């Protein structure tokens, strides 16, 4: 009796669906992640040995640079208009916190004025950013 042998085709693993899934995952993670961008304003933060990690939450950022310029969320503001600008920025839902980034060369009086304006505008908390020595 003559039996015919079946010839088996060589089995090759098709990687196309796997590559599709990897690219879909890559696109998903790229679209859902957010990238933290450091502001382009050159601020040399003061050093502090004892500090806490900043809690990530919605906040209004006030920057005081070494020239005495004030910036609220990247927009330059005069000291006279700081309180009303902060009041408007803190009016947004979920935004009740102020974060102060001050250059170590900035005047202390200006930082105190920012703290006063933040309290008057209704901020629940004010964080002062520093860096590790």
pLDDT at 41: 58
Considering the domain boundaries, does residue 118 fall inside one?
yes
User: What long-range pairs does 4-9 form, CB within 8 A, spacing at least 24?
Assistant: none
Instruction: Output the tens digit of pLDDT for each of the chain's 133 residues.
Output: 566 776 666 677 888 899 999 999 999 988 887 665 555 556 666 666 666 665 666 788 888 888 888 888 888 888 888 888 888 888 877 777 888 888 888 888 888 888 888 888 888 888 888 777 6
Q: Which residue has the tokens 């202390």?
A: 108
Owning domain of residue 76: 60-128
How far is 131 from 54, CA to CA, in rounded Å?
A: 11
Query: Quick count: other Cβ atoms within 10 Å of Cβ 10?
Result: 5
pTM (2 decimals)? 0.58
Q: How is residue 83 annotated by DSSP?
A: H
Considering the domain boundaries, does residue 99 fall inside one?
yes
pLDDT at 26: 93
What is the CATH number for 121? Answer: 3.30.420.270
pLDDT at 82: 87
DSSP 3-state of 15? coil
Considering the domain boundaries, does residue 53 fall inside one?
no
Cβ-in-10-Å burial (0-12, 13-18, 19+) of 25 comes to exposed
Considering the domain boundaries, does residue 36 fall inside one?
no
């Amino acid at each position: 009796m003559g039996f015919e042998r079946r010839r088996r085709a060589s089995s090759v693993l098709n990687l196309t669906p796997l590559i599709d899934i990897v690219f879909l995952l890559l696109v998903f993670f790229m679209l859902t992640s957010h990238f933290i961008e450091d502001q382009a304003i050159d601020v040399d933060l003061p050093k502090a040995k004892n500090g806490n990690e900043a809690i990530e939450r919605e906040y209004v950022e006030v920057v005081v640079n070494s020239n005495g310029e004030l910036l609220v969320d990247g927009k330059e503001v005069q000291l006279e208009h700081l309180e009303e600008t902060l009041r408007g920025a803190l009016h947004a839902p979920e935004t009740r916190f102020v974060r102060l980034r001050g250059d170590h060369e900035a005047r202390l009086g200006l930082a105190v004025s920012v703290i006063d304006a933040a309290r008057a505008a209704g901020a629940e908390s004010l964080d002062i950013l520093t860096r590790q020595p």
